Amino acid sequence: MLIKLKFVGLAENTLKAVSYRLSYLAKHSDLDNPDEVAQFIASMSHKNSYKDSMVKAYNYYVQLNNLSWRKPVYKWEGQIPKIPTTEKLNEVIARASKKYATIFRIRMETGVMPYELNQTTARDIDFYGLA
């Protein structure tokens, strides 16, 4: 089944996540019985975001096996991000190696995302504008 999903164009990490979730669902319910799977997901004591990811993974199974089900909808609860204080960030930077201290300092002061920083080259930095 995962080979079919790969042909559809799902990324390798997505395939791994779907595989894990489907095997978890298979241990606790009959995958060929959509009502049982929906009931099991509803009874899980996890956050709605996790339940939603289980529904999405099972939906791939339903589509590939020509089953029908009424897909449950779980709304994600918004969470306030935990933002460390400047003092805590400076403690981390002080204890980090020279390489990571530089990375952490740049991220702290610019708010750049890790991917963006990874793509940055020396040509992208205006050393003359720094003073």
Structural domain for 31, as ranges: 2-64
**0.85 cut: is pTM over it?**
no
- Asked, for residue 43, whether it belongs to a domain, the answer is yes
Task: Specify whether 60 is located in the same domain as 7.
Answer: yes
For residue 49, give the nearest of 18, 11, 78, 28 by alpha carbon.
78
Task: Specify whether 56 is located in the same domain as 18.
Answer: yes
Q: Which of 13, 31, 64 is the last residue of a domain?
A: 64
Tens-digit pLDDT profile for residues 35-84: 999 999 999 999 999 999 999 999 999 988 999 999 999 988 788 888 89
Which burial class, exposed, middle or buried, applies to 121 when counting CB atoms under 10 A from its CB (0-12, 13-18, 19+)?
A: exposed
- Number of folded domains that form the chain: 2
How far is the C-alpha of 34 from the C-alpha of 19, rounded, in Å?
17
Tens-digit pLDDT profile for residues 5-35: 777 777 888 889 999 999 999 999 999 999 9
Coil, strand or helix at 131: coil
How far is the C-alpha of 43 from the C-alpha of 46, rounded, in Å?
9
- Asked, for residue 23, whether it belongs to a domain, the answer is yes
